[in-house]
Every structure is written in structure tokens, then in C-alpha cells.
Amino acid sequence: MTTDVLPEVGRPARARAKRFARPALLAAGLIVAVWLPNGIYTGLAVDLLCWALFAVSVDLLLGYAGLLSFGHAAYWGSSAYATGLLAVHLGLPFPLAVLGGALTAALIAIPVGFLAVKRVGIYFAMVTLAFAQMIYFIANEWRSVTGGENGMQSVPRTLGSADLSDNYYFYYAALPIVLGGLWLAWRIVHSPFGRVLVAIRDNPARARALGYPVHRYKLAAFVLSAFVAGLGGGLFALAHQFVSLDTLHWTTSGKAVIMVVLGGIGTLWGALFGSSFVVVLEDSLSQADFASPGLLTGGIFVLAVLLFRRGLWGSVAAFFRRR
């Protein structure tokens, strides 16, 4: 309103505020990330890191390529198992184990993505779900490798002679990988590739007429997203020093989607916000011995979607933009 009355004064001030908003937000985020294990219990802090990567990976697809993957647990979970196997059998330093896990996830995503990107909308979601169920089934049956229902026990996390048994130190050891993964997602979104993805999302026919191979772009996005999900899943395995079948379960895929929708689709900050919100909420509910935390998170999800069309973060951001 004031900007209309005093354009000469209002506009530059607002532009300046906008220019400073992003770096300020980034600085605040970094401060919180560095401070976090001093403020909340360390296991929760590490979980927040892992889920942040997972949610961001889902948003990369949903928000920027318009693809709803309902089977992303396949990449989170397969990386968790691969990371676990690399750590248990080869005793790799943990960053390498995680990298190996994420690459495994990306590799699995190639054939799945190849078939899935030929479908759109709900059919895409169903293909991703079907393959995730298949991978869940394989992990369940392949007991000699995965431990089946018992999961994979005592996954070591090593880095030279450093003692990472305390989650407090593991948090700081893992933080660079997480920041690296988040940076990668940010880079993708703000790259020529990211621009083409958004164009494909908004108008696939036009993108094809401009010579862009839409399927191949979507496949590349799918594989990159699986890699980022894999970074999170690998760290999750190390964080708990245990891999359970739950990491591959469809409810895990659903949880990541809920995080993104809750936080706000199409903004990486929204995915961070949504994942933190859900992880903290579920943690406090389980601390309080609440019988069915899923019910409450589900209820909050429905309410948030009804009340905040753009998600929690999206609505806050829109509020500040309007001012």
C-alpha cells in the first residue's frame, strides 16, 4: 500500500529488503544448523539432517519437475542398505559409504525412472510406488544380505581415528555432507537444467517443440533426486547404526511427501521447514507416549493443506512478499 503512495521511497527499500532477505535467511539457517545439537538432543538433531535431505529430494521432483514420486523410500532405503553393507563389509570411512549408498540409489533410479517418466500425474506416482514395493519385497526376502525383518545390525561409522560413537560428534561430521547435498539441490534448481525442468513442468508440449527431450530431462531429474535422497538415507543408516525394513516402506515415501506438501511445494526452504516440523512433532509425540502419532500428524497435515494452500513456509513467504 505505502509503496503505491510513495513509489520512489518504497520500491528501492523493498528491493533492498528482498536482496538482503535471502542471505539473511541463509545465515540464520547456518547458525541454527551449527548450534542445533547443543539445543536439542543429538539423536533428533541428526535425524533432522537426514530427513531434510530426503524432503528436499522429493521437492526437487514435485516442486520443480512436477513429478510426484510416491516411492522415494526406494532410494532412501536402498542407499541405507548399501551404505550399511559398505560400512559393515568393507569398513569404508563413513563419507565414502554414504557416497556409495547414494550412487547405488541413483543407479537403481535409472531403470525405474526410465519407465516412470513415460507416465504423468497419478500414473507416474503409481509406477514409482510399484517399484518401491518391489524393492521392499526383495529386501524382505533377501535375508542373507539385508537381515530381512530383523534389519541390518551394528553398522559401524568410522572416519580415520576419529571417535564418532557419540551422536554429538557424528552430527558435525555429517553436517558437511548434508550441506553439500542441499547445495547440490539448490544448484540444480538455479541452473539452466532447473530452468528447463520448470519449463517442462509448466508446458511440456512447448518444451518439446523447442527441442527439449522431455523424458530424458525428467529422467535426469529423477536420478539426481534419488542421489540426494540416497545421501539422506545413507546418513540415516549410520545415524542409527541400524537399517530397518521401514526405510523402504511405502509409509516412509508418504512421510517425505507429507513433509514437502506441509512445508510448501517448490521452495527448498519449505521442504526443510516441513521435514523439521514433522520430525520434531513425531518425536515429541513419541516422547509423550502418544498412542498413534500417525493419526495426529495426519490430522495436522489435512488441516495445514486446507488452511495454507502454499504450505506453511509458502504462506509465510507470501505474507512477507505482500508487505
Partner 1 sequence: MAHSALTARALTRDFRGFRAVDAVDLEVADGSVHALVGPNGAGKTTLFNLLTGFLTPTAGRIEVGGRDITGLAPEKIARLGVARSFQITSLFGQLTCREHVELALAGDLGWKFWRSDKLLHRHRDQAMSLLDQVGLAEHAESTADSLAYGRKRALELALALALDPKVLLLDEPTAGMGVEDVDRTVDLIGRVRDGRTVVMVEHNMSVVGALADQVTVLQAGKVLVEGAYAQVRDDERVISAYLGEAHVAD
Query: Which residues of the shown chain bind partner 1 in the complex (CB under 8 A)?
Result: 187-188, 190-196, 198-199, 202-203, 205-206, 208-214, 217, 220, 224
Let me know: does 105 contact 78? Beta carbons within 8 Å: yes
Q: Which of 143, 216 has the CB closer to partner 1?
A: 216
In 3D space, the residue among 156, 139, 174, 163 whose CA is nearest the CA of residue 47 turns out to be 174
- The Cα–Cα gap between 251 and 20 comes to 39
Task: Select 143 or 195, whichever has its Cβ closest to partner 1.
Answer: 195
Minimum Å distance from CB 119 to partner 1? 16
Please report how close the Cβ of residue 67 comes to partner 1 at its closest, in angstroms. Answer: 16
Gap between the Cα atoms of 139 and 80, Å rounded: 12
CB of 168 to partner 1, least distance (A): 33
CB of 219 to partner 1, least distance (A): 12
Minimal distance in Å, beta carbon 276 to partner 1? 26
Distances (CA, A) of 221 to 109, 200, 243: 10, 11, 26
Q: Considering the complex, state which of residue 22 and residue 187 has its C-beta at the smaller distance from partner 1.
A: 187
Closest by CA position to 68, among listed 198, 277, 263, 254: 254
Between 38 and 191, whose beta carbon lies closer to partner 1?
191
Least Å distance, CB 301 to partner 1, is: 27
For residues 190 and 309, which CB has a smaller minimum distance to partner 1 in the complex?
Answer: 190
Q: How far apart are CA 238 and CA 168, in angstroms?
A: 13
The three cell numbers of residue 225 are 533426486
Distance CA(21)–CA(17), nearest Å, equals: 6
Nearer to partner 1, 164 or 196 (CB): 196
Q: Name which of 156, 175, 154 is nearest 45 in CA terms.
A: 175
Copy the grid coordinates of residue 307: 488452511
